Homo-oligomer: A and B are copies of this chain.
Amino acid sequence: MPADQLVQNLESALSKVPLIDPHSHIDPLAPVSKSLDDILGYHYYTELAHSAGMGKALLAKDADPRDRVREIVRFMDRYDNTAQYGWFVDIARTFLGFEEGRKLVATDADKLYDAALKTFAQPDWEAQVFAKTRLEKIFLTNEFDDPLKGFDTNKYVPCLRTDALVFQLHLPETRRRIEAATGVHVRDAATLRKAVATIFMHFTRNGAKACAISLPPNFHPAKFDDEHVYEQMNFHDFQDLAPGVFWLIAESCRDFKLPFDLMIGVNRRVYEGGVYQGQDLFDQRTSLLQYKELFNAFTDVTFPVSVLTSAQNQELVAYSWIFPNVLPNGHWWYSNTPPYITKDLTERLTAVPKTKLIGYYSDAYKLEFVKPKYGMYRRILANVLADEFVRPGALSETDAVALGTRLLRDNVRDVFKV
């Protein structure tokens, strides 16, 4: 069988697996796009267009959406080499009737804009996207005071995002929001415990299946200390407070039996003049060693871990190989392009128990992105399975598809109990 045929067979089989996407930023009350601006306003496109020279005037909130789309498309011939451009072409073809094999040019912007307006206005558009994507469920990212009302939590699975609780507790506004959501006025360790418990109660009662947080490279968790927290509260010093509050969240994950997604490595607002959501970068000098105490203390909490840099993938592989409660999770942000996915996936697949590998998540803001992103991942997964397992004779084609299915779906079900 020719090499390519094998990869095609694997990819084709994997494309039939119904997806459960374990991390996204979908708004369940507005899950699909309304216009092409919702697609191309995604920070991956505004970032690349801006990085390639597009001015910021049309990126302003009140700029005309059609003009913005025209400009972002016009700049595509400067970044049509990127994986992100590939996602857009996939969307244009799958959802907007853009012809296979045609090259996208600046003058396509208006046609696509019009096609999107019409297509996205269909009353069953959300259902169509679910069907074309073979999407079964998708996890959300919910602020701690999200009422979790008005959507099907079986399909849109709530996930408690705790960045604000951990890193912004020193802000009066955060404490006001906590009080509004829980009825608890946080003024010391005891009231903080009570507020957090109330939040977890609310989330788990409403079908939440995970807790999540993103963490800077230099973050170091520290045991929650009631007295210390009380004092810090008065000083409003978040730098000192965050490690302890994080610990308290981990305790709650244990008590409420929720996996705790750690997304490690992002420095916020590095490029101060960057586009919306396009200002964050990283420092490669980070280590999971900083989480040693956490992983040892919470042996009964599952930690699906995402790392921002591929150089840290070997640490993630080794910590997942040794710690029963540490799992590699997806391919995040700056590591979500083909060369990094290929490398990181290959390293994980040959060293970490297969039952612990959560293959991928879309991180999408609009449902239309789930398909092209998973499409990219499946192509890479098919190649890695072919090269590492089928061709060397370690697995049959059928067994390789089963292994791929485990990464795509089975492990998500097992780990998050969905």
Contact = CB atoms under 8 A, between A and B. Distances in A.
A83 B350 contact: yes
Interface string A288-321: 1100100110010000000001111011011111
B79 A354 contact: yes
A282 interface: yes
Nearest to A389: B81
Interface residues of A, number: 72
B340 A347 contact: yes
A323 interface: yes
Given A287-B285, A311-B314, A314-B311, A322 B271 contact: yes
Contacts of A83: 350-351
Contacts of A321: 47-48, 51, 334
Nearest to A310: B314
A60 interface: no
Nearest to A323: B271
A324 interface: yes
Nearest to A385: B81
Identical subunits present: 3
Interface string A50-61: 111100000000
A350 B338 contact: yes
B81 A403 contact: yes
A295 to B, nearest CB: 7
Interface stretch (A17-25, A136-144, A273-281): A273-281
A349 B81 contact: yes
Contact of A282 (B47, B52, B78, B315): B315
Interface in A336-361: 337-340, 343, 346-347, 349-356
Nearest 4 pairs of A and B residues by beta carbon: A52-B353, A79-B353, A81-B354, A283-B289
